[in-house]
């Protein structure tokens, strides 16, 4: 039997699964064509919308590693969620990207703040409203990318990252 996945992989995979589960309707503006786990430039995509979830630097300025006791560690990581979208003549790409990032925040924070994992693993997820990738100009066909940085607080046992 293989060892368990690292906590970081579990968290990123859970975030990606939440985004992939979105369906256009009353709750979401769009259904993603796919969810990537590594960044690519918008001009390499042929279908939209697409999301990307990847680890990012955690920049809150707060302590990111606290020993709680009995080997339990509270830590924080950064997640960058990038939305790739395609605008139209009557719908600017920035509007499309803002809607997609709104959808991402709803998917990642509801119905719980734990990414569908246990609350003793993922304590919470917070959209820091820091903008990461911003690529909304320079593409003649109105495609672009915009990202938000999230802070995820989680627990793990020393020696079992």
CA atoms of 59 and 114, how far apart (whole Å): 20
Q: Is the pLDDT of residue 100 over 90?
A: yes
Q: What is the CATH number of domain 7-157?
A: 3.30.2000.30
pLDDT tens-digit map of 40-81: 888 889 999 999 999 987 665 566 778 888 889 999 999 999
Domain spans of the chain, in order of start: 7-157
30: confidence class by pLDDT, cuts 50, 70, 90:
very high
pLDDT at 135: 67
Supply the pLDDT for residue 65. Answer: 79
| Strand ranges, E, within 39-142 | 50-56, 65-69, 72-86, 122-135
């Amino acid at each position: 039997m293989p060892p368990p996945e690292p906590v970081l992989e579990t968290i990123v995979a859970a975030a990606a699964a939440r985004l992939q589960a979105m369906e256009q309707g009353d709750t979401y503006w769009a259904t993603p064509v796919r969810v990537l786990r590594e960044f690519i430039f918008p001009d390499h995509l042929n279908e939209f919308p697409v999301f990307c979830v990847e680890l990012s630097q955690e920049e809150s300025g707060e302590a990111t590693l606290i020993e709680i006791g009995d080997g339990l560690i509270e830590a924080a990581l950064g997640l960058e969620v990038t939305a790739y979208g395609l605008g139209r003549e009557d719908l600017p790409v920035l509007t499309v990207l803002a809607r997609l990032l709104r959808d991402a925040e709803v998917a990642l924070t509801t119905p719980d703040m734990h990414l569908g994992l246990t609350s003793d693993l993922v304590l919470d997820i917070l959209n820091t409203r820091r903008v990461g990738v911003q690529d909304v100009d320079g593409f003649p066909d109105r495609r672009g990318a915009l990202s938000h940085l999230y802070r995820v607080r989680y627990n793990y046992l020393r020696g079992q990252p």
